[in-house]
Structure 1
Amino acid sequence: MNVAALRSRVEEWASHVPLLQRLATEFFRIEFLDRCMLIAAQALLAMVPMLVVIAAFLPELTASALQQMASVTGVGDDAVRQVTGELDLSRVRSETGALGLVITIVSATSFGRAVQRVFERVWEQKHVGGLRGGARCLIWVVVFLGCLGAVNGVINLLTDPGNPLRPALQMLGSCAAWWGSAWVLLFGRVNRWVLLPGAVLTGVVQVIYGRGSAWVMPTYVESNAEQFGTLGVILSLSTWLIGFAGIVVGGALLGRLLVEDPIIARTVRHGRDFLTRSR
């Protein structure tokens, strides 16, 4: 079945429910699958070189970076270390140099650009590129990773791993990070309160996805690593990143559909009027 036939069948099936009908239409308009693959690919291309450079030039941050990555992806500490453990770090330092370090960090903005284009595509905004867009994406990548690290650090200080409050705090931090991310990468062209539902969907589902990965991914990574070595770990990370990207794209898209759906808007308006009269 080709894409046109699939699209026709999905739209016919969803025609009975307006929200689903628009979801099907928007799914194809933003090229959902292509956007997911692009974000996953750019994240992988940015992640592995940055881990290598951090291990070579900033060894004091390596343990923290690896632990956070292992925690978020659920792949396990040993698997993540395998990506960098087979490298001659002294050779990396001598052959990369300061300029290589800068180039590696700047290249990580490709991930920021991929996420930026998703938000712009979902909200039908003109792309902001050039030096201005590149600088914004670079700042976003650095601040976003820093915020996630700070949030995880604070949560680790305040709660124990088994504390039921821990996932709630993680969701709160993740929602805040994605809310700010959408507003920053859209250059403030969309009202920040309109972006909130998408950020909440993304943040909540990502935390659930991350916690679920801690149960599933270690076995999957171990199996791939036994078959393919380091390549198996990278393939496992690619799989995880595709799911991560799907949550980013899907959360942004569903967030817009929810705030613009007339039935939901009418329900919210009636609820607000009821609460106002009750006071």
Structure 2
Amino acid sequence: MDVAALRERVTTTYHARRDQAMELLDRVPILGRLVNDFIKIEFIDRCMLIAAQGLLALIPMLVVLTAFFPHATSDVVRVFSQATGVGSNGTQLLEGEVTTGQVRTQTGIFGFLITIFSATSFARAIQRMYERIWDQPHVGGVSGAQRCLLWLLGWMLTLQIIGALRRIGDGVGGILGDGVGIVVQALLLSVIWWATSWVLLFGRVAWSQLALGALLTGVIGVVYNRGASVLMPPYVKANADQFGTLGVILAVSTWLIGFAAIMVGSALVGRVVTEDPTVRGVVRRVWRREPEDGTAAPPPAG
């Protein structure tokens, strides 16, 4: 085997593919900006940070809320377990480690408040992600903490609403019920992330500019959750059989990384597409019904 010839062929192929990729980026400016922005915001690091904050902040918060308010947070836990694919078996495995009485006794009111406040770190990670994507300075301090806590409480409330809608959809059943349920969930999630981006950016970016990113997050998020509900349970079970509770936590962290990638990628694509001059020109012409020459179309008769 001629190693030198093989190395030369591999190097030649690599340079040829690199030149083709660079030519494509030069030919399609929006694609080049997407690649540059994904690198600029440190896409992988941003996803890992959001997933880590979600794992370290949300899981303890859900455990504590379930212990103190089991009936009020039942839908939240159910929606989260269904989305991550943990299911009833994984939830029972986690709950088997501690009892609600132990959590209430060992946590106390002061510990409960600290847990809720610590959970805002998840919201702060999302806030920094939106600020990084939209090139906005970070808003911290008391006002930032208050806004993150407000968003966290609103997010918990919307999970309750999603749980109620899912029960209604399950009651209808059939293909029609599933189709309507998917559409309603996609629209609801899009509205949630639309409001999320506006709230965590402190209204510094217009609603219209945030719409596409929120829509992508909602639609892709529903598809991701539906796929996870099928693929994740066997993965969770295999991890639980091999590693016990740690295996369930590892499976949840995998789901969180995937959903964080959807959030970051959708927000970034939403900004790049919305600000692209070609896309804006097409939207402007369609909105004003202008022909290609730029002259406005005559108003409809009557």
Using structure 1 for the length normalisation, give the TM-score.
Answer: 0.91
Structure 2 CA distance for aligned equivalents of residues 161 and 247 of structure 1: 28
Letter of the aligned partner of 1:38 in structure 2?
Answer: L
Q: Does 1:95 align with 2:110?
A: no
Structure 2 CA distance for aligned equivalents of residues 81 and 130 of structure 1: 38
Do the aligned partners of 2:58 and 2:122 also contact (CA within 8 Å) in 1? Answer: no
1:108-135 Cα distance to aligned partner (Å, 9 max, x none): 1000000000110000000000111011
Q: Does 1:196 align with 2:211?
A: yes
Q: Does 1:228 align with 2:243?
A: yes
Do the aligned partners of 2:78 and 2:163 also contact (CA within 8 Å) in 1? Answer: no
Structure 1 CA distance for aligned equivalents of residues 232 and 288 of structure 2: 47
Question: Alpha-carbon deviation of 1:277?
Answer: 4.3
Coordinate RMSD, CA, aligned = 1.9
Q: Does 1:58 align with 2:58?
A: no
Name 1:254's counterpart in structure 2. Answer: 269
Name 1:270's counterpart in structure 2. Answer: 285
Using structure 2 for the length normalisation, give the TM-score.
Answer: 0.85
Question: Alpha-carbon deviation of 1:213?
Answer: 0.6
Moved more, 262-271 or 69-78: 69-78
Alignment size in residue pairs: 271
Structure 2 CA distance for aligned equivalents of residues 41 and 277 of structure 1: 56
Structure 2 CA distance for aligned equivalents of residues 82 and 58 of structure 1: 20
Give percent identity, aligned residues only.
47
Name 2:158's counterpart in structure 1. Answer: 147
Name 1:79's counterpart in structure 2. Answer: 90
1:28-67 equivalences in 2 (<5 Å): 28-61=39-72, 63-67=74-78
Structure 2: state its 5+ residue gaps.
1-17, 291-296
Q: Does 1:160 align with 2:160?
A: no
Name 1:218's counterpart in structure 2. Answer: 233
1:68-95 Cα distance to aligned partner (Å, 9 max, x none): 2122223322112322222143222222
Matched residue of 1:15: which SS? helix
Name 2:37's counterpart in structure 1. Answer: 26
Structure 2 CA distance for aligned equivalents of residues 236 and 161 of structure 1: 29
Matched residue of 1:81: which SS? helix
Do the aligned partners of 2:148 and 2:200 also contact (CA within 8 Å) in 1? Answer: yes
Moved more, 199-208 or 68-77: 68-77
**CA 277–218 in structure 1, closer or farther in 2 if over 3 Å, else same:** farther
Question: Alpha-carbon deviation of 1:96?
Answer: 1.0
Letter of the aligned partner of 1:132 in structure 2?
Answer: S
1:13-32 Cα distance to aligned partner (Å, 9 max, x none): 63332111000110011111
Do the aligned partners of 2:240 and 2:246 also contact (CA within 8 Å) in 1? Answer: yes
Structure 1: state its 5+ residue gaps.
1-8
Do the aligned partners of 1:148 and 1:174 also contact (CA within 8 Å) in 2? Answer: no
Q: Does 1:185 align with 2:162?
A: no
Name 1:115's counterpart in structure 2. Answer: 126
Q: Which has the larger radius of gyration?
A: 2
Matched residue of 1:60: which SS? coil
Question: Alpha-carbon deviation of 1:62?
Answer: 5.3
Question: Alpha-carbon deviation of 1:55?
Answer: 3.0
Letter of the aligned partner of 1:160 in structure 2?
Answer: V
**CA 242–278 in structure 1, closer or farther in 2 if over 3 Å, else same:** farther
